[in-house]
A and B are shown apart, each in its own frame.
Chain A
Amino acid sequence: MGALLRVSWLSFWALFGWADPAVYVSSLIVGPAFQIVFFTLAGRFSHSGHGPLFYVIGNAVEIAALGGVFALGLILIAERRNGTLGLSLIAPRSRLFLFAGRGIVYLLNSVVTVALGLGVGAWIFGLPLSGANLGALAVAIAAVALSTAAFGLLFAGIGLLLTDVNMVMNLAISVMLVLCGINFSINALPSPVRAISLMLPLTRGAMAARLAAGGAPWAAIWPLVGGEVLIGAVYFALGYVLFTHLEATALRKGTLDLV
């Protein structure tokens, strides 16, 4: 476990440690906070019947998903660019240990980002979070971070075959932004599309987080959190199998180090 955390911290530090603090603030604090404000104001303008809580919590949870999905992708991009991806794959440690383990600090960081985003949103729009079930809210956010990281594993595997991992990650996060009920209820979607949204991570997590922020009891939140974790487990299994398979394909096709 100690080695796992050390690998994770070093990986995170390698990406952001050398950079200007402005980079960290810009990508992980300013961007997400403004996303929350942007969609909350759009929601206020729309007269949709949803209050600011709906948009602030939805987008805050989506930021956790952003951290989850991009965690592995960013690592892959950095490894590939520095020419060390092949070396990582022939290391004696398992790929799961190396890649999934590295995502831990990213996930913790995304929880910090979400907390800051929530704080900004609550402050600007005067959200009454005093009655919120904060413990359940934290659990819902953690569940989203984990399930979307598993989703990210799936897309990172696909990224092994492409030259631009960023595109795959952006596609994944865009699909979730549209289909997971972040800025409008999934009930507005046509039935077949709604069925897809229920198969994605984040959908139940966002519902659970909204309930928790509204002060709902644990009993109402657990089923949704459980569903989110279960979906995450399914994507993790799929992602691991696909990653292993595509890794072999990328080695065979010689696309592993394409930049």
Chain B
Amino acid sequence: MRAALRSAAMQLKNTLARQVIQFIILIQPIVFATLSYFILRHRPGVDMASYIVIGSGLISLWSAALFSSAGDLDRERRMGNFEYLLVTPTPFETIILGKIVGNTLLGFGSMAMSYLYATLVLRADFAVRAPMLFVLGFVGTLVSFLGISLVLASAFTLSRSARLIVNGMEYPIYLVSGVMFPLTLLPQWAQVIGHLVPLTWARATLQAAAAGLPASFWPAFWGLLGTGALYYLVGRVMFDGVLRRLRVRGDAGVY
């Protein structure tokens, strides 16, 4: 636990110094909040503020998870640290979990940025009607993102092209998670895929809390935790397999 917390603290310091992460946390929420505002402002009867703040914040949270999961491992490999991390007394998975916690906490900065920009600049009327549920939704989102980030980190551990692959993983997830329009616009099969993505449940959870709708909040919250737990289990199994494979092939440091 201590090692994971130390890893998270170190990750926060290192990542904050990276300009691409500064971009994701500070600029990307502004970009997507502006796009959401100008695209959705004609739509009658839609809670635009909720889409602007929650949608654009979650978009940046997902980008932060993707790019830092891929970039961290890529950087460790390039700098020759990767093999050392694999053989330190602290399990590699603990170090990675710490990094993921750090990244996700940073990602929440994007949500704060979305809120500030939407309310101060775009004058969006965003109110949280159930603050306690909103905080609970945040915690659930953090927990759920640990699971999916573990899966991503395991997959990226094997790939030397992770940085490039993630470029194609942003919009497909935005599309099926309903961050800018309801899922009902998608075909049934795409909606099913959407429900396998924690971002979908995080969006539904936070929107329900903001609207003060406990009846909608709880199913979404359990869905959020459920998908998070599922991905965590998959990530654990994947990690064991990936580490075994790296040791057998002996190419952990090949860049």
List the interface of chain A (C-beta within 8 A of B).
19-20, 22-23, 25-27, 29-31, 34-35, 37-39, 41-49, 81, 162-164, 166-167, 170-171, 174, 177-178, 183-184, 188
Contacts and interface: CB of A to CB of B under 8 A. Distances in A.
Contact of B182 (A34, A37, A45, A184): A45
Contacts of A164: 18-20
B167 A27 contact: yes
A63 B97 CA distance: 35
Given A34-B175, A45-B40, A177-B31, A23 B164 contact: yes
29 contacts: A19-B164, A20-B159, A20-B161, A23-B161, A25-B168, A26-B165, A29-B168, A31-B169, A34-B168, A34-B171, A34-B175, A35-B171, A38-B171, A42-B36, A42-B39, A42-B180, A45-B43, A45-B181, A49-B42, A162-B19, A167-B19, A167-B20, A171-B27, A174-B28, A177-B35, A178-B31, A178-B35, A183-B35, A184-B38
Given A45-B185, A49-B42, 12 more contacts: A22-B161, A34-B174, A34-B175, A37-B175, A42-B181, A45-B40, A45-B181, A163-B19, A164-B19, A166-B19, A167-B20, A183-B35
B19 A47 contact: no
Contacts of B175: 34, 37-38, 41
B170 interface: yes
A26 B168 contact: yes
B22 interface: yes
B119 interface: no
Contacts of A22: 161, 165
Which residue of A25, A43, A174, A177 has the most chain B CB atoms within 10 A of its CB atom?
A174
Interface in B15-40: 18-20, 22-23, 27-28, 31, 34-36, 38-40
Nearest to A81: B78
B174 A27 contact: no
Nearest to B24: A170
A211 B44 CA distance: 29
A221 B215 CA distance: 54
Given A20-B161, A167-B23, A188-B38, A47 B28 contact: no
Interface string B34-69: 111011111110000000000000000000000000
Contact of A47 (B20, B42, B167): B42
A34 B168 CA distance: 8
Interface string B137-174: 00000000000000000000001010011011111101
Contact of B39 (A23, A43, A81, A171): A43
A42 B19 contact: no
B230 interface: no
